[in-house]
Structure 1
């Protein structure tokens, strides 16, 4: 059990992150200011630095939290059914989370501020988001258009032990290279569609985003022989 002091510290950190997300929601990552957060919380600027050493430290924690939250949303969508049905469920969960938390999604999908360097830990958190997609594609069959990518994924698995371990953890059965091929493709399609929508690029166009998402996943399922 944590001490009263630690519980107080955790509460203050949570309040700081909540205030920071509100700022980002109003003006993007560029609007984030530790002094403004301090003012909103009614404390002095230096007091914030007891909890976060810098603006980038705060951004990093928000990003890691964001990956954890979207990973939880995707995991919650894991279920039974055909690979094609599971693909639609997972993609819908990712897309739905992003639309419900657009300012957090943009932190994950882009560079929050000039010169910001995401920590290596963010790679592992991102892989947790993608992990549930791996078994969906592991039993698939790459079409001719995806064979070059599959060969690159095969070399990636062979050359990077951490990648091989990641794939085995989520998809112990099936072909790792095929699993990665489909997962990389779904990642690029989801980000492309979702980023355009979050940025308002679909405004004035005649389609629903859900319809386009369905089409993208159906064509990907065809490509991967699901």
Structure 2
């Protein structure tokens, strides 16, 4: 074998080695996550391994700092005192809120915090008849007389206003008759069926600053 042929074989071997390294890196990075319960993740975190943990968001446990969302989850069918802290460096969907089911995939660090790389939130759809609900214009027409009083109000979700809990107004509803708008504060779970233009029925009260503090959000049906 001449020197030219040897150099060619060495070059080809080098390319093959690089390809194998890239393939292994790709396969390793896409290894299926191990499914753990909240209790299993809390007791045996398997630090550094890719895991998927599902649980409900603990009431008012979430906060966002420098675009990083932190919150805690618990198992609704287990011990509510057993909780797992989650850190998510990404934009949470508008469905995120108190007691929503959060499916968190990532790796648990040495401090026992799940560094979440993929977050999916789910909340079952809920419907309510809007026949006895006030329109936005009717509610606003009562002025100060209705502030703090529990009422039902219906409207459609204004496009582009939906956001996750803890980021200010959750969304704005619009009166389809005259275009009146009402910002809504709501930190609990929101159905994934709530989207731009969705007709909703809200239960709650008008606040002094002109917002509607909702205690319940349902699809009109």
Sort the TM-score into its range (normalised by shorter chain): under 0.3
Return the TM-score normalized by structure 2: 0.25
Higher helix share: 1
Which structure has more RCO (C-alpha within 8 Å, separation ≥ 6)? 1
Return the TM-score normalized by structure 1: 0.24
Q: Which has the larger radius of gyration?
A: 2
